[in-house]
Amino acid sequence: RPSRLGSAFCTHRATRSRSSMPADLARASTTDLLAELKRRMESPPKKNIILVGPPGSGKGTQAPLIKDKYKLCHLATGDLLRAAVAAGTEMGKAAKEVMEKGGLVSDEIVIGIIKDNISTPDCGNGFILDGFPRTVVQAEKLDGMLTSEGVGHIDHVIEFKVPDATLVERICGRLIHPASGRSYHEKFHPPKVAGKDDETGEPLVKRKDDNEETLTKRLDAFHKQTKPVVDYYAKQGLYSPVDADRKADSVSATIAAILAK
């Protein structure tokens, strides 16, 4: 027969054990606990991904596929800025004030807008960051914000590699239907009637910046700006280059293999 002291000790341990459990778990039924465990085990592992690549490299094709497969949110910084300004958020108001004066939006504002978005339910499984960071300082500030917010760290940095000559051909051949945004290509996806939209028959146009001289300058600037950022993440073992000068399904397979690591 246990002594009174032993009984008291056992009672104290049981009470302490129950009190240390989170209230919501302590009240949950076994069925609910098993269902929650199953949900967590079946959910894709959390991934925070940065996509790097110049215009025409295929990021716009692959990002939605990655988003759907891994249940991530897609954060394109240009879109985020416009949305924050339109919504009138605190960071959006700050960005609007700077832009109206013709200035460049600061790193702190951009990171603040990213911070606002990664705390939403859509980003619960992680995010795809597109268009940021563009400098090592930005990368360091991003790392600091992720750490302070307790949302993990960057897991993969994937760069879409395409020869500049191919990018020039891809972009300089683009034709746009202004009213709908439908796009064609003189070589890869020509309209049924040259220079005319397939659905309306209205004229197609080329964007002003879609010329070889402008694009060559943009690509040169992109490479000079991107290399230090890529090197920053490569030193951490996070960087993976992808040959994006292939069919989309081949590029998708390569990305899937990288993200499976």
What tens digit of pLDDT does each residue of 203-227 get? 999 988 888 998 899 899 999 999 9
Span 108-112, mean pLDDT? Answer: 93
Q: Flag whether pLDDT at 13 surpasses 60.
A: no
**Would the pLDDT of 198 be above 90?**
yes
To the nearest whole number, what is the mean pLDDT of the chain? 86
Catalytic residues: 59, 134, 174, 207, 218
Q: Determine whether 254 is exposed, middle or buried from the number of CB atoms within 10 Å of its CB (0-12, 13-18, 19+).
A: middle
Q: For position 17, what pLDDT does the model report? A: 39
Q: How confident is the model at residue 9 (pLDDT cuts 50, 70, 90)?
A: very low
Whether the predicted pLDDT of 37 surpasses 90: no
Helix axes 77-87, 107-118, angle to 10 degrees: 80
- Burial category of 84 from C-beta neighbours within 10 Å (exposed 0-12, middle 13-18, buried 19 and up): buried
* Position 192 pLDDT exceeds 80: yes
* The pLDDT value given to residue 74: 93
Peptide bond into 178 cis (omega under 30): no
Instruction: Examine the pLDDT at 133 and tell me if it is beyond 50.
Output: yes
More confident site: 257 or 28:
257
CA angle 144, 72, 115 (to 5 degrees): 30
pLDDT digits (tens, 9 = 90+) for 61-105: 899 999 999 999 999 888 888 889 999 989 989 989 988 888 888
Give the separation between CA 256 and CA 261, rounded to whole angstroms. 9
Q: What is the 3-state secondary structure (H, E, C) of the chain?
A: CCCHHHHHHHHHHHHHHHHHCCHHHHHCCHHHHHHHHHHHHHCCCCEEEEEECCCCCCHHHHHHHHHHHHCCEEEEHHHHHHHHHHHCCHHHHHHHHHHHCCCCCCHHHHHHHHHHHHCCHHHCCEEEEECCCCCHHHHHHHHHHHHHHCCCCCCEEEEEECCHHHHHHHHHCEEECCCCCCEEECCCECCCCCCECCCCCCECECCCCCCHHHHHHHHHHHHHHHHHHHHHHHCCCCEEEEECCCCHHHHHHHHHHHHCC
Strands 73-76 and 183-185: unpaired
* pLDDT: which is higher, 63 or 37: 63
The closest of 112, 139, 170 to 234, measured between CA atoms, is 139
CB 128 within 8 A of CB 49: yes
The pLDDT of residue 14 is: 42
Instruction: Determine whether 160 is exposed, middle or buried from the number of CB atoms within 10 Å of its CB (0-12, 13-18, 19+).
Output: buried
pLDDT at 24: 56
Count the neighbouring beta carbons within 10 Å of the beta carbon of residue 167. 22
Cβ(46)–Cβ(126) below 8 Å: yes
- The string of pLDDT tens digits covering residues 148-173 is 998 889 999 999 999 999 999 988 99
